[in-house]
Amino acid sequence: MANDITQLIERNKVWAGEIASKDPSFFDQLSINQRPQFLWIGCSDSRVPPNQITGSLPGEIFTHQNVGNLVQLNDVNCMSAIKFALEELDVTNIVLCGHYGCGAIKAILDKSAEGLLKKWLEPIAHLYQKNKAEFADLSDDLAYKKLAELNVIAQVNSLCRSNSVLDRWANDKKLDIYALIYDVGNGFLKDLGVNISSKADLFEFQRSAYF
Ligand code: ZN
């Protein structure tokens, strides 16, 4: 049977052996502590694994993933991850990454989300309703892409309103926030041109962006 748990464990043995053969002290050093430079907030989609698509090793990226890469101020899970990353790990960069081909985005545009998923994805549905006019002339493919990008921008705005982020800037500690989109069709990340590193940047961003 392909991809069963035995296969995962076997692949893990091979992977750990390869890492240790290149750097025998790798796991010893990582077991002492973690010092990631990045918090990555992204979608749970199996095609968008943060470490793999950025060629990063364990210890480099602290991650929080959920369906649709949402940052909701009342989501204890997401807020705890941000707080831990900024206050305990002293992470200095946050990447908000959405992706093309996102099932969450498609579920909103196709109106196919049901039950709990429909409830979870409400922020994306509201975002679409607010900007519906922008989608009038778009093909389905372009509409999926546009809503995925719009959603990243909206989630960056939400992220910047979290207490942990605002406290960090208020205390004059370095924190850069970036917005990226990953294309599952070619493996490339696209920079959406957002770099917010202060409350002043945030005001500028909120003036220019539409949510
Ligand atoms: Zn997705």
99 in catalytic set: yes
Say how far residue 27 (Cα) sits from the centre of its chain: 26
Give residue 182 CA to ligand 1 midpoint distance, Å.
10
Cα gap 174→159, rounded to integer Å: 16
102 in catalytic set: yes
Q: Is residue 2 predicted with pLDDT exceeding 70? A: no
Kindly report, residue by residue over 35-45, the tens digit of the pLDDT.
999 999 999 99
pLDDT of residue 208: 86
pLDDT of residue 209: 78
**Which of 78, 102, 160, 168 does the annotation list as catalytic?**
102
Cα gap 87→90, rounded to integer Å: 6
Q: Is residue 66 predicted with pLDDT exceeding 80? A: yes
Give residue 112 CA to ligand 1 midpoint distance, Å.
15
45 in catalytic set: yes
Kindly report, residue by residue over 95-109, the tens digit of the pLDDT.
999 999 999 999 999
Backbone angles phi, psi at 38, to 5 degrees: -125, 140
Give residue 48 CA to ligand 1 midpoint distance, Å.
8
Cα gap 13→11, rounded to integer Å: 5
pLDDT of residue 174: 98
Kindly report, residue by residue over 109-152, the tens digit of the pLDDT.
999 999 999 999 999 999 999 999 999 999 999 999 999 999 99
Q: Enter the DSSP assignment of 37.
A: S
Cα gap 192→173, rounded to integer Å: 24
**Which of 47, 90, 167, 201 does the annotation list as catalytic?**
47
